[in-house]
């Protein structure tokens, strides 16, 4: 009688392992613009024939566990359930069967037909908020384009080159030699700001990691680190026009519900600062709520940020009426703070 439960347990375990190893992947069924080529052994021959090619990126452990997303069987919605196994697909090449999307809402997403090196066909999902086809979170990186492109420095004297360009959502993007993607309007802002300073190359390199907004009415720039989906964040924001500059200090939280935050504590190794009771502004929708406090940066705020940026361990603690939310700042957050401090010095901005 004891044998039957063991057999059933073994069957269940094998079923579970099989489910983990064999994931259903739905493939697209579009007709390619040119017939696919196969060898005499019925093996697919990868022949881009001058089309734009890409490869599936190496990724961190979290992506390896998730697999490659955005390769869809259809264009019904802005998401799809396909997850290509990382080990099987990493480094695999592919090409775009069309330079124009087969479907787009014109403002947030677009679908391109692609063919991979193994002959599989998918609709690749490109997202505007990620920089289009080759954005920072895209699973693919560009290999070749369907037209010749002469590499050139993104600004005069810079070591980083523009190595390619593409169009997405009626916006032109530039691929840089450091594998970053730069929208054309950001490139213009970087060039316009840096040309007024003798350290133009250093300033331009720092501005690559920022988002720059230009206000035509006031002829002014607002410069801040590239926005990340950090649950807790502390940052500096730079303002600049032709005659003056200013600096802002901001603490914020992004979550699934309103926390009603009323203060914060910063720790940089053995240093600590606690704010008085503050009013955080709240905005967002049903899925995401953003709470933030922003103030003009004076010498104290600049000193706090400098300590955070240079510390071995930096933490931000957000206070509510009933509990606190603590987060350790990641290395990229500390680097962003350090970069903004350098821009603060190079652009001649002074705290009050």
Torsion-angle region of 165 (φ positive above 0: left; ψ -120 to 50: alpha; else: beta): beta
pLDDT tens profile 132-148: 899 888 999 988 886 77
pLDDT tens profile 56-94: 999 888 778 889 999 999 999 888 899 999 999 999 999
Whether residues 214 and 323 fall in one domain = yes
Model pLDDT, residue 341: 96
Average pLDDT over residues 240-264: 93
Residue 48 domain-assigned?
yes
Whether residues 259 and 333 fall in one domain = yes
For residue 307, count other CB atoms closer than 10 A to its CB: 19
Query: Is the pLDDT at 11 greater than 90, yes or no?
Result: no
Q: What is the mean pLDDT of the chain?
A: 88
| Per-residue tokens: 234 | 């502390």
Domain boundary among 116, 147, 178: 147
Name the residue with higher pLDDT: 259 or 170: 259
Residue 178 domain-assigned?
no
Residue 128 DSSP class: G
Residue 41 domain-assigned?
yes
List beta partners, residue 327.
316
Model pLDDT, residue 328: 95
Query: Is the pLDDT at 178 greater than 50, yes or no?
Result: yes
Widest Cα–Cα separation across the chain: 89
Domain boundary among 147, 168, 189: 147
Distance CA 351, CA 203 (A): 19
| Per-residue tokens: 67 | 């697999």
Whether residues 243 and 321 fall in one domain = yes
pLDDT tens profile 263-321: 999 999 999 999 999 999 999 876 889 999 999 999 999 999 999 999 999 999 999 99
Query: Is the pLDDT at 17 greater than 90, yes or no?
Result: no
Model pLDDT, residue 164: 86
Distance CA 245, CA 68 (A): 43
Q: Taking Cα atoms as reference points, which of 113, 114, 104, 115 lies closest to residue 78? A: 104
CA 241 to chain centre: 28
Whether residues 128 and 229 fall in one domain = no
Name the residue with higher pLDDT: 137 or 1: 137
Residue 156 domain-assigned?
no
Residue 229 banded pLDDT, cuts 50, 70, 90? low
Average pLDDT over residues 336-344: 95
The SS3 assignment for 273 reads strand
Say how many domains are in the chain. 2
Query: Is the pLDDT at 351 greater than 50, yes or no?
Result: no
Distance CA 127, CA 137 (A): 10
The SS3 assignment for 347 reads coil
Average pLDDT over residues 168-177: 86
Whether residues 218 and 107 fall in one domain = no
Residue 7 banded pLDDT, cuts 50, 70, 90? low
Name the residue with higher pLDDT: 130 or 118: 118
Structural domain of residue 323, as residue ranges?
Answer: 209-346
For residue 95, count other CB atoms closer than 10 A to its CB: 21
Query: Is the pLDDT at 20 greater than 60, yes or no?
Result: no
Whether residues 105 and 217 fall in one domain = no
Model pLDDT, residue 1: 47
Residue 293 domain-assigned?
yes
Whether residues 221 and 304 fall in one domain = yes
Query: Is the pLDDT at 19 greater than 50, yes or no?
Result: no
Residue 226 banded pLDDT, cuts 50, 70, 90? confident
The DSSP annotation for 236-248 comes to: EEEEEESS-EEEE
Are the CB atoms for 155 and 190 separated by under 8 Å?
A: yes
Percent pLDDT > 70 in the chain is 90
CA 188 to chain centre: 20
Query: Is the pLDDT at 218 greater than 80, yes or no?
Result: yes
Residue 164 domain-assigned?
no
Model pLDDT, residue 24: 85
Residue 169 domain-assigned?
no
Percent pLDDT > 90 in the chain is 66
| Per-residue tokens: 173 | 């993007």
Domain boundary among 129, 147, 165: 147
| Per-residue tokens: 101 | 């999307």
Distance CA 302, CA 249 (A): 8
Name the residue with higher pLDDT: 177 or 261: 261
Residue 27 domain-assigned?
yes
The structure's pTM equals: 0.78
Instruction: Return the H-helix or E-strand segment holding 271.
Output: strand 271-274
């Amino acid at each position: 009688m004891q044998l039957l439960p063991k057999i059933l347990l073994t069957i269940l375990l094998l079923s579970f392992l099989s489910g983990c190893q064999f994931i259903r992947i739905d493939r697209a069924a579009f007709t390619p613009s040119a017939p696919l080529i196969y060898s005499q052994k019925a093996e697919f021959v990868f022949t881009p024939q001058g089309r734009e090619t890409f490869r599936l990126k190496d990724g961190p452990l979290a992506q390896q566990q998730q697999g490659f997303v955005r390769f869809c069987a259809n264009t019904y919605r802005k998401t799809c359930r396909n997850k290509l196994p990382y080990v099987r697909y990493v480094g695999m090449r592919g090409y775009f069967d069309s330079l124009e999307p087969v479907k787009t809402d014109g403002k947030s997403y677009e679908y391109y037909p692609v063919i991979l090196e193994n002959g599989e066909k998918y609709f690749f999902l490109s997202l505007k908020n990620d920089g289009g086809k080759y954005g920072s979170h895209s699973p693919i990186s560009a290999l070749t384009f369907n037209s010749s492109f002469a590499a050139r420095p993104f600004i005069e004297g810079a070591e980083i080159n523009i190595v390619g360009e593409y169009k997405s959502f009626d916006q032109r993007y530039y691929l840089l030699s450091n594998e970053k993607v730069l929208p054309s309007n950001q490139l213009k802002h970087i060039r316009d700001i840096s040309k007024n300073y003798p350290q133009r190359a250093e300033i331009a390199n720092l501005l690559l990691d920022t988002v720059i907004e230009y206000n035509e009415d006031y002829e002014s720039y607002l410069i801040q680190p590239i926005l990340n989906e950090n649950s807790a964040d502390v940052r500096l924001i730079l303002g600049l026009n032709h005659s003056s500059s200013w600096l802002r200090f901001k603490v914020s939280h992004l979550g699934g519900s309103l926390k009603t935050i009323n203060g914060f504590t910063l720790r940089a190794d053995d240093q600590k600062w606690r704010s008085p009771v503050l009013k955080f502004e709240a905005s967002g929708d049903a899925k995401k709520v953003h709470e933030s406090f922003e103030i003009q940066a004076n010498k104290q705020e600049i000193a706090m940020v400098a300590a955070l940026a240079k510390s071995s361990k930096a933490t931000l603690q957000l206070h509510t009426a009933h509990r606190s939310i603590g987060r350790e700042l990641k290395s990229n957050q500390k680097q962003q703070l350090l970069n903004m401090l350098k821009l603060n010095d190079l652009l001649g901005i002074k705290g009050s």
